[in-house]
Amino acid sequence: MFYISYYLAISISLLGYGFILSKLLKINFLNFGFLGLIGISFLIFISYISTLFFVHDYFFNIVVHLIGIFSFIFFFKGKYKKDLIQHLAIFAILIIFILVAKNHDDFPYYHYPYSFFLTQYEHPIGFGQLNPGFRNHSSLFFLNSLFYLPKIHHFLLNISPVYFLGFANLVFYNFIFYKNNFNNYKFINFQSLLSLSFINVFFYRLAEHGTDRSGQILIFIIIILLVMILNSSRDLYYKRNKNLFNLSLILLILLVSLKPFYLIYLPILLITFSVKIFRENIIKLFLSSVTLYSFILLFFVFFFNFLNSGCLIYPAFFTCFENLQWSFSENTIRDVNQWYELWSKAGASPNYKIANASEYIANFNWVSNWIENYFFNKISDFLLGLFLLIIVFWILFILKTKNNVNSKKFEFKLIYIYLLICFFEWFLKHPALRYGGYQLFALILFFPLIVKFNKLQINYNTFYNKSWIVILIVLTIFLSRNVNRIIKENSQYNYNPFISTSYIYHGGDEKFYNRYINYFNSNYNNFGKINILGKKFVIIK
């Protein structure tokens, strides 16, 4: 009972922080989906600042969430009643998503230890000395640490992805059924339906999310916002487009904070300056409070990477400082960089490793082995499912539907070119689906379908009815897959979600999960200390 109550209360708290940030930065949040996402951003911002000085213990976290809940109550108005009903409906459905026995494979390795550490100590310097996974932090761990609460203890430190999935569903749902938008920009309604279908069909398991899929979900939203800007570029829409720009910027920084390889998406916002009115107001945009907030949040992303490893982006050697007490050697950094590339190019796995790594990853020597050991059957199965999704949309919406000779032009080429650039970078450097491949394949294949839909002669009522057919199909798939997963977990791990909602210590016991806390406790007096403005920071070296 506490598990579900806390889960729902946290979702309300996130909305409360979304209200606070939207008021401070004067952002029109469009719907509760965006409100929740900017609330996540703000709570991560608070976690970044507070963890340097405070332990995220029960008392601290209770106070944080009470402020969020009271803020929601204070700002909530009658006009938001429909939004709240949608919010509660979606998060009620997603309860099945968080009932898990087994978490992500990296959860016991570094997700849990990092998150739990912040509930016991202030953030140390040189944290990456303890575990390679700590060297490039994810903001997800800082968010997780705020879910350490009485009665439930650490058993909510795994659920951050549900809030990204839930609020994204709210964003897409509202865009799908935004009738006022349909007459002129129906491709937005259609693109949102595609995106909602994709994330719920392919990202249905919490244990597969890790730190990367939440970011891939954000990319779908960011692309929709950019498409909206490019297709409503008249001066009349500048105020609305400025708001879309602000939301895009906040979500982009949130995206980068989740995983360092998402930095490649940061320049995509420059596409908006192909719009004349944006070029004319470039100074105002970059001197706004939203830009200041976003750059401070980005600063903390680099700052904590620096505290952990001595690098702004680990293991990019050119961003590293060699002469710090907690720095890593050049050879260590280059070896790790090579290892990441080797792993993503199917040159290594838990069971084997290619002998000559340098030669293997050079040029295209890796391609044949990658095709044999990764493309088949990992990517091929994914593409089969993706094409099946596209076929369903083609049959429902496009087949036997007449073209509209007066259809409005759909601007998307700059976005599409940028996605292709990202795709080639992905293929050349880290061609694994979890490292940004899922959404690239999907978006590159979705855009031709969106263009075709935009040319159709279809009215809103027809689209509305067919959209509900798709949503019911997607909901059935999502629920049935998770029910089947829970049945298998019951058989394999003797896990019963009706008796216990706590996950098991998969891959080890409690001692294994808390090994870094235990090591830190036993060696605390041996670690270096540095005094900064009267505050003692621990240096692990």
Q: pLDDT digit string (tens) for 74-97?
A: 999 988 999 999 999 999 999 999
Weakly modelled stretches of the chain, pLDDT under 70: 1, 233-236
Q: Report which residue type is found at 380.
A: S
Structural tokens at position 292: 């200041």
Report the pLDDT value the prediction gives residue 232, as an integer from 0 to 100.
81
Q: Report which residue type is found at 452.
A: K
**Distance in angstroms (rounded) separating the CA atoms of residues 91 and 225:** 23
pTM summary value: 0.97
Report the pLDDT value the prediction gives residue 483, as an integer from 0 to 100.
97
**Distance in angstroms (rounded) separating the CA atoms of residues 214 and 446:** 19
Q: Report which residue type is found at 445.
A: L
- Classify each residue of 491-514 as buried b or exposed e, where b means 16 or more C-beta atoms within 10 Å of its C-beta: eeeebebeeebbbebbeeeeeebb
The DSSP bridge partners found for residue 537 are 530
Dihedral angle computed from the Cα positions of residues 358, 361, 365 and 367, in that order, rounded to the nearest 10 degrees = 160
**Distance in angstroms (rounded) separating the CA atoms of residues 103 and 136:** 21
pLDDT tens sequence across 178-211: 998 898 899 999 999 999 999 999 999 999 999 9
Contact 503, 102 (CB under 8 A): yes
> Helices 380-393 & 437-454, crossing angle to 10 degrees?
20
Report the pLDDT value the prediction gives residue 309, as an integer from 0 to 100.
96
What DSSP element (H or E) covers 391? helix 380-393
Report the pLDDT value the prediction gives residue 235, as an integer from 0 to 100.
53
Contact 199, 474 (CB under 8 A): no
Contact 30, 170 (CB under 8 A): no
**Distance in angstroms (rounded) separating the CA atoms of residues 87 and 67:** 20
DSSP-assigned letters across all residues of 262-330: GGGGGGGGGGGGGSHHHHHTHHHHHTSHHHHHHHHHHHHHHHHHHHHHSBSSTT-GGGB-TTSTTPPPH
Number of residues in the chain: 541
pLDDT tens sequence across 322-365: 889 999 999 999 999 999 999 999 999 878 889 899 999 999 99
